[in-house]
């Protein structure tokens, strides 16, 4: 049987220059590139991943979007990925080099995980190519250390309560909160009450990048999906 190979390729957080050389070489050699994106309620398609790849002059004929509607629940998303996997399998059986990309790192809260289990179960030949996660870029953007010496770092993929944040801030020198949009209001009040230093960054690495360390600015901002917040004692150094 002819068989291809599958590559899970990390695109980095947003700056097309923060793609690794290994990722770029893999994208250039690919026969097919599957990329994630979203569809708004009005039907508008958007893909952060596609924007990261576009300046690299890749053949658009080999690109295939996986678009998730914002209204989709976990089961519907699973169903969509199950259909996409059938297409991937077909490509693989034709002997194609199939790339599935993900923004940030490929193994860190990545949508690639939806396909990984199916890839394992079918014993397909595959490789994963690491990349820079968004919170790592935040350190360089704001020019501060994310961690030093014996510092411990907690990354919260979502915040369930302010009590949880309070606890993490006691146990870890650096706390990163991702997928921020749901908890913004309460966090701002918490920051004020506890006079905390924080860094907020959205769409890091893109031409729409916005950062602030001011709670007044944050309070008046609509928080997009691609945003994160970091607390630690080095933020005020900048
Ligand atoms: N694989 C990604 C994480 C995907 S989960 C990584 O390694 O970084 C999606 C969350 O990542 C978003 O809700 C946001 O909190 C964060 N994120 C990803 N890209 C970002 C960017 N360019 N700027 C700010 N936050 C980002």
Q: For the segment 33-92, what is each residue's pLDDT rounded down to a tens digit?
A: 999 999 999 999 999 999 999 999 999 999 999 999 988 888 999 999 999 999 999 999
**pLDDT band for position 1 (50/70/90)?**
low
Q: Cα 92 to the chain's mean position, in Å?
A: 26
Q: Tell me the CA–centroid distance for residue 110 and ligand 1, in Å.
A: 9
Determine whether the shortest distance from the Cβ of 111 to ligand 1 is under 6 A. Answer: no
Give the separation between CA 19 and CA 205, rounded to whole angstroms: 11
Ligand 1 pocket mutation pick from 103, 128, 156 by most atoms within 8 angstroms of CB: 103
Q: For the segment 196-220, what is each residue's pLDDT rounded down to a tens digit?
A: 999 999 999 999 999 999 999 999 8
Query: Any residues with CB less than 8 A from the CB of 48 and at least 6 apart, and which?
Result: 14, 37, 103, 206, 226
- Greatest pairwise CA separation for the chain in angstroms: 64
Q: Is 225 exposed, middle or buried (0-12, 13-18, 19+ CB in 10 A)?
A: middle
Give the separation between CA 174 and CA 171, rounded to whole angstroms: 9
What residues does 33 pair with on adjacent strands?
63, 99
pLDDT of residue 231: 98
The DSSP H or E segment spanning 72 is none
Q: For the segment 25-34, what is each residue's pLDDT rounded down to a tens digit?
A: 999 999 999 9
Can you give the C-alpha Rg of the chain in angstroms? 19
Give the separation between CA 12 and CA 10, rounded to whole angstroms: 6
Reported in sequence order, the residue ranges of the chain that DSSP labels E, i.e. its strands, are 5-10, 32-39, 45-46, 63-69, 97-102, 126-129, 153-156, 174-177, 199-202, 210-212, 227-231
Determine whether the shortest distance from the Cβ of 131 to ligand 1 is under 6 A. Answer: no
Q: Tell me the CA–centroid distance for residue 224 and ligand 1, in Å.
A: 11
Give the position, in ligand 1's atom list, of the atom nearest the Cα of 132: 7
Q: Tell me the CA–centroid distance for residue 225 and ligand 1, in Å.
A: 8
DSSP state of 237: G
Determine whether the shortest distance from the Cβ of 11 to ligand 1 is under 6 A. Answer: no
Structure-block tokens of residue 57: 């002059």
**pLDDT band for position 186 (50/70/90)?**
confident
Answering whether pTM is above 0.85, one says yes
Give the separation between CA 70 and CA 198, rounded to whole angstroms: 29
Determine whether the shortest distance from the Cβ of 226 to ligand 1 is under 6 A. Answer: yes
| Range with the largest mean pLDDT of 91-95, 159-163, 179-183, 184-188 | 91-95
Ligand 1 pocket mutation pick from 112, 182, 184, 226 by most atoms within 8 angstroms of CB: 226
Q: Tell me the CA–centroid distance for residue 63 and ligand 1, in Å.
A: 22
């Amino acid at each position: 049987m002819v068989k291809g190979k599958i590559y899970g390729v990390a695109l980095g957080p947003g700056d097309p220059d923060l793609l690794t050389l290994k990722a770029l070489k893999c994208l250039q050699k690919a026969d097919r590139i599957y990329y994630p994106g979203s569809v708004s309620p009005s039907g508008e398609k958007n893909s952060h991943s596609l924007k990261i790849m576009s300046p690299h002059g890749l053949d658009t004929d080999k690109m295939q979007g996986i678009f998730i509607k914002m209204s989709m629940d976990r089961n519907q998303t699973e169903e969509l990925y199950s259909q996409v996997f059938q297409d991937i399998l077909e490509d693989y059986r034709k002997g194609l080099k199939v790339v599935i990309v993900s923004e940030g790192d490929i193994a860190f809260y990545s949508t690639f995980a939806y396909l990984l289990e199916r890839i394992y179960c079918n014993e397909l030949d595959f490789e994963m190519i690491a990349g820079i996660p968004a919170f790592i870029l935040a350190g360089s953007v704001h020019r501060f250390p994310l961690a030093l010496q014996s510092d411990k770092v907690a990354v919260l993929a979502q915040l369930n309560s302010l009590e949880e944040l309070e606890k993490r801030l006691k146990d870890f020198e650096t706390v990163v909160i991702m997928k921020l949009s749901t908890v913004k209001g309460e966090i701002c009040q918490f920051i004020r009450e506890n006079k905390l230093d924080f860094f907020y960054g959205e769409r890091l690495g893109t031409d729409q990048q916005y950062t602030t360390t001011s709670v007044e600015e944050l309070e008046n901002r609509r928080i997009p999906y691609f945003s994160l917040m970091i607390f630690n004692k080095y933020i005020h150094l900048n």
